């Protein structure tokens, strides 16, 4: 193992725009290429974020699309035989088909990670899914999640022992955020039609049921009407099936001039520099990269009390937490920052320091590397004992 690179095959649904996908890309790009050779296998499609993989990293597209494909385990098994990885690392539900594929092949280890959950499985899963996940966990050589809350959920749902499911928190690259901060944030505001003295509440999210951005829009409506202040702006970065519903609500409520929809953007760190406050109204979360990046950009955060958000947002220190769907409390917490520059700055700096201490990208990469190597060391140890 010391004189050859460790070959890793990452398997996930796609490299679309999202937090889990971003973590996979950071691992592929960030681990030492002299020690690790990495390939990504996308089950449904490559996705828009595949362009960010470093040069030389392989990306296989199995092209399943949105339809069910009962032959998928056979197709994944073919990829495993072709690539001959030392370790297969599966993400979320893609692990089920891949675990079946692994049973058809030999000579590789399986690592599986859970990154969160979406509607309709926020509070519980059907029995078939619980059984499938439990079988997957027992077939894997190592299982981990990105937060204690996600760990507790999946262990509770599947009955898998907590002491066998590790936690490796997500991490972000402060240098990337700082480089964007040094760019012209006024230029970005100008591009978006936002004045230099506007108070900008920003969010970055898929506009779907799980992210529940309509609650943030309702909170902004209350804020806008109660303050009657044209300086309030809501910046919505992202796209999804709920975008039309949110836009319709904004038009009906008569404050469309105060809301900017950017669609999907690939310059999120720069957009964070145009915000005064970051907000996230999700019904469920794992450990959102967007919140980590916002904190790294020294923004206070108002978010829902779900998933790992209580592990990130310290109440009254780096931001505030509200219960999901409560637009009234959301509006009230956001309003506390308006006109309070010293408080806003203090909360933002506290968030930055927390990320620097606990959620750096280099820390995350070291933990991934240590896990991969420990799995192979255990394998070598077993072989020697035989």
How high is the pLDDT of residue 185? 67
Q: Whole-angstrom Cα distance, residue 66 to residue 45?
A: 9
Q: How far apart are CA 333 and CA 219, in angstroms?
A: 10
Could you identify the residue written with the tokens 């690939």? 266
On whether both 149 and 223 belong to a single domain, the answer is no
Residues 101 and 199 in one domain: no
**Domain for residue 163, yes or no?**
yes
**Are 212 and 189 in the same domain?**
yes
Residue 293 lies in a domain: yes
| Domain match, 183 and 158 both | no
pLDDT tens for the chain, residues 1 to 386: 556 899 999 999 999 988 999 999 999 999 999 999 999 999 999 999 999 999 989 999 999 988 888 899 999 999 999 999 999 999 999 999 999 999 999 889 999 999 999 888 999 999 999 999 999 999 999 999 999 999 999 999 999 999 999 999 999 999 989 988 776 666 889 999 999 999 999 999 999 999 999 999 999 999 998 887 778 999 999 999 999 999 999 999 999 999 999 999 988 999 999 999 999 999 999 999 999 999 999 999 999 999 999 999 999 999 999 999 999 999 999 999 998 999 999 999 999 999 999 999 999 999 999 999 999 987 655 545 55
Q: Per the domain annotation, does 156 fall within a domain?
A: yes
* Residue 119: per-residue pLDDT: 87
Alpha-carbon separation of residue 3 from 6, 34, 35, 151, 381 (angstroms): 10, 10, 9, 35, 17
| Whether residues 80 and 214 fall in one domain | no
Phi-psi region of 56 (alpha: psi -120 to 50; beta: other; left: phi over 0): left
Q: Same domain for 300 and 343?
A: yes
- For residue 184, being part of any structural domain is answered with yes
Output the CA–CA distances (angstroms, integers) from residue 83 to 14, 37, 39, 59, 153, in the order listed: 18, 11, 8, 11, 33
The tally of domains found in the chain comes to 2
Q: Are residues 158 and 179 in the same domain?
A: no
Give the span between the Cα atoms of 15 and 241, in whole angstroms. 18
Q: Which residues pair with 142 in a beta bridge?
A: 111
What pLDDT score was predicted for residue 2? 54
Q: Same structural domain for residues 235 and 146?
A: no
Continuous segment of H or E residues that includes residue 130: helix 127-139
* CA 244 – CA 369 distance, rounded (Å): 42
pLDDT of residue 381: 56
End-to-end CA, the chain = 18
Range of the domain at 123: 6-171+361-385
Same domain, 162 and 279: no
Are 185 and 147 part of one and the same domain? no
Domain at 167, CATH number = 3.40.50.2000
Say whether both 250 and 367 belong to one domain. Answer: no
For residues 334 and 267, state if they share a domain. Answer: yes
Give the C-alpha separation, 118 to 284, whole Å: 7
Does residue 1 lie in a domain region?
no
């Amino acid at each position: 193992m010391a004189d050859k690179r460790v070959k890793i095959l990452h398997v996930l649904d796609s490299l679309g725009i999202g937090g889990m996908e971003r973590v996979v890309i950071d691992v592929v790009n960030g681990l030492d290429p002299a020690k690790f050779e990495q390939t990504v296998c996308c089950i449904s499609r490559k996705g828009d974020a595949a362009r960010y993989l470093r040069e030389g990293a392989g990306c296989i597209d199995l092209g399943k699309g949105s339809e069910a494909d009962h032959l998928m385990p056979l197709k994944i098994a073919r990829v495993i035989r072709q690539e001959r990885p030392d370790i297969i690392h599966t993400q979320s539900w893609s692990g089920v088909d891949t675990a079946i594929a692994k049973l058809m092949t030999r000579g590789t280890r399986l690592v599986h990670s859970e990154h969160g959950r979406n509607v309709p499985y926020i509070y519980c899963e059907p029995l078939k899914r619980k059984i499938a996940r439990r079988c997957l966990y027992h077939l894997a050589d190592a299982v981990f999640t990105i937060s204690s809350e996600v760990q507790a959920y999946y262990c509770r749902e599947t009955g898998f022992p907590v002491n066998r499911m590790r936690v490796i928190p997500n991490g972000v690259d402060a240098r990337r955020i700082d480089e964007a901060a040094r760019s012209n944030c006024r230029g970005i505001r100008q591009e978006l039609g936002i004045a230099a003295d506007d108070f900008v509440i920003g969010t970055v999210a898929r506009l779907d049921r799980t992210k529940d951005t309509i609650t943030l829009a309702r909170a902004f409506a209350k804020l806008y009407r109660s303050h009657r202040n044209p300086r309030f702006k809501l910046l919505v970065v992202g796209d999804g099936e709920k975008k039309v519903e949110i836009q319709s609500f904004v038009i009906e409520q008569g404050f469309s001039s105060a809301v900017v929809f950017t669609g999907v953007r690939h310059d999120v760190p720069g957009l964070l520099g145009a915000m005064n406050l970051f907000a996230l109204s999700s019904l469920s979360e794992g450990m959102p990269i967007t919140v980590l990046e916002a904190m790294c950009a020294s923004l206070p955060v108002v978010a829902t009390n779900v998933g790992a958000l209580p592990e990130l947002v310290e109440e009254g220190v780096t931001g505030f937490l509200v219960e999901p769907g409560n637009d009234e409390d959301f509006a009230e917490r956001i309003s506390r920052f308006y006109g309070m520059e010293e408080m806003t700055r203090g909360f933002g700096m506290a968030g930055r320091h927390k990320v620097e201490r606990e959620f750096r990208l280099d820390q995350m990469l070291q933990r991934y590397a240590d896990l991969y190597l420990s799995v192979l060391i255990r394998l070598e140890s077993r072989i020697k004992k035989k």
